[in-house]
Amino acid sequence: MSDAGAARSTADAFARRFGRQPDGVWAAPGRVNVIGEHTDYNGGFVLPVALPHTTRAAVARRDDGLLVLTSVQHPGQDAEVAVADLEPGRPGGWAGYPAGVVHALAGSVPGGLSILVDGDVPSGAGLSSSAALSCSVALAVRDLLGLDLDADALVDVARRAENDFVDAPTGILDQSASILCTAGHALFLDTRDGTREQVPLDLAAAGLALLVVDTGTTHDHAEGGYRDRRRECERAAAALGVDLLREVEDPAALEPLAGSGDDGEVLLRRARHVVTEDARVLEVVTALREDADPRAIGPVLTAGHVSLRDDFEVSVPLIDVCVDAALAAGAHGARMVGGGFGGSVVALVDTDAVDSVTAAVTERFAHASQPAPRTFVVVPSAGARRLA
């Protein structure tokens, strides 16, 4: 949908719900990470692109001190609460994300707000639908109330909403991608100091496409597994005497971990993923900067998957099947994206092979008695923006 069409339909939905036009409409995208998984909370590098799919927030000021939240995707789950009464976990569910943003900015929202959200970022697919939601609302509140917050501060507001209000353990990858990405580029971000570079990524010009396969699997233990991995990384860093695993550049320097206790060998593998993944991000960025044939990054993406599967142990069998099927059908590289334990796969494929790779993956799913996955090609799209 065009930005203008999305603005109109979101404003119309707002008008039907609230009986008036919104003061504005904002949008924020989901993301797919090209490479750099589970590096963000270790102070490492990431390289996401924004999806064309967005969450839209239509917002209007109120004068009764209430926050009224409604979502087209969650009919019957509206929330209404005094801004002054917001507290972490209340409201919960989908409404916790926008409420968390308003909570973080509560001192600036005395009169209250009406917020309607609508969107098309696949949820539960590892494509950051949560960040799209919190970032769309953060940008809306900032603009509408004229708050003095730069892009980094907005990223932080959205992250705090998720970490502190919703109690979702995320790093800073998803919110950074949603706010900072630009069309036609991948965002090369150093999560330790926030420095960044927009790396041109015109795959179509090279006859290539980024194919996303939403496998439709999400696992109940995904959040617990994510927390466990974070803790293991912290323990590995402590055992090595560094603040963040980012500080280790040579995988050989990780060897002492093997003898560092009962699960030293596990910590070694976890840390090895992080250290080698940082190196893979740098390798991909170098290749893209040098304008080499982007097909060269394919094997690096696949190596990232192998590392997530074997060293970090956050993949699941259906994701591995999907990666293998894409590679067997001619993808130059393929890997799981996001936190893991289900979600989506991204594959680098020749434009004229998109249909055959999609068919091969779909057939493999049918063979495994799995519902057909949802697939789409990603054009690196714009970050969060005002639509109307």
State both tokens at 141: 């509140």
Does 214 bind ligand GLA (CB under 6 A)? Our answer is: no
Does 119 bind ligand GLA (CB under 6 A)? Our answer is: no
State both tokens at 257: 């971990």
Does 277 bind ligand GLA (CB under 6 A)? Our answer is: no
Q: Is 174 a catalytic residue?
A: yes
Does 212 bind ligand GLA (CB under 6 A)? Our answer is: no
Cβ–Cβ under 8 Å, residues 113 and 84: no
**HSE, side-chain direction, 13 A CA sphere, residue 84:** 4
Residues 19-48 that bind ligand GLA (CB under 6 A): 37-38, 40-41
Q: Residue 37 Cβ, how far from ligand GLA at the closest point, in Å? A: 4
Stretch that binds ligand GLA, among 4-12, 48-56, 86-94, 167-175 (CB under 6 A): 167-175
Catalytic-role residue among 118, 156, 174, 214: 174
In this complex, which beta carbon is closest to ligand GLA, that of residue 31 or of residue 185?
A: 31
State both tokens at 182: 């630009």
Closest to 268 (Cα-Cα) out of 311, 297, 234: 311
**Which of 7, 173, 301, 319 forms a contact with ligand GLA (CB under 6 A)?**
173
In this complex, which beta carbon is closest to ligand GLA, that of residue 118 or of residue 278?
A: 278
Q: Considering CB under 6 A, how many residues would be counted as binding ligand GLA?
A: 10
Q: Residue 42 Cβ, how far from ligand GLA at the closest point, in Å? A: 9
Q: Residue 226 Cβ, how far from ligand GLA at the closest point, in Å? A: 7
Q: Which long-range contacts (CB under 8 A, 24 or more apart) does 13-19 make?
A: 13/58, 13/72, 13/116, 13/118, 14/58, 14/60, 14/114, 14/116, 17/70, 17/116, 18/60, 18/68, 18/114, 18/116
Cβ–Cβ under 8 Å, residues 8 and 55: no
In this complex, which beta carbon is closest to ligand GLA, that of residue 219 or of residue 367?
A: 219
In this complex, which beta carbon is closest to ligand GLA, that of residue 154 or of residue 329?
A: 154
Residues contacting residue 272 through CB under 8 Å, at least 6 positions apart: 251, 254, 307, 311
**Which of 54, 170, 302, 344 forms a contact with ligand GLA (CB under 6 A)?**
170
Q: Residue 44 Cβ, how far from ligand GLA at the closest point, in Å? A: 9
State both tokens at 365: 């799913």
Q: Residue 171 Cβ, how far from ligand GLA at the closest point, in Å? A: 3
Q: Residue 80 Cβ, how far from ligand GLA at the closest point, in Å? A: 28
Does 339 bind ligand GLA (CB under 6 A)? Our answer is: yes
Distances (CA, A) of 290 to 48, 157, 209, 263, 293: 18, 35, 19, 41, 9
Burial 237-254 (b: 16+ CB within 10 A, else e): bebbebebbbbbeeeeeb
Does 160 bind ligand GLA (CB under 6 A)? Our answer is: no
Does 338 bind ligand GLA (CB under 6 A)? Our answer is: yes
Residues contacting residue 284 through CB under 8 Å, at least 6 positions apart: 34, 35, 47, 297, 300, 301
**Which of 30, 112, 171, 383 forms a contact with ligand GLA (CB under 6 A)?**
171
| Sign (positive or negative) of CA dihedral 91, 92, 98, 101 | positive
In this complex, which beta carbon is closest to ligand GLA, that of residue 42 or of residue 381?
A: 42
DSSP structural state of residue 343: E
**SS3 category, 110:** coil
Q: What residue ranges bind ligand GLA (CB under 6 A)?
A: 37-38, 40-41, 170-171, 173-174, 338-339
**Residues identified as active-site:** 174
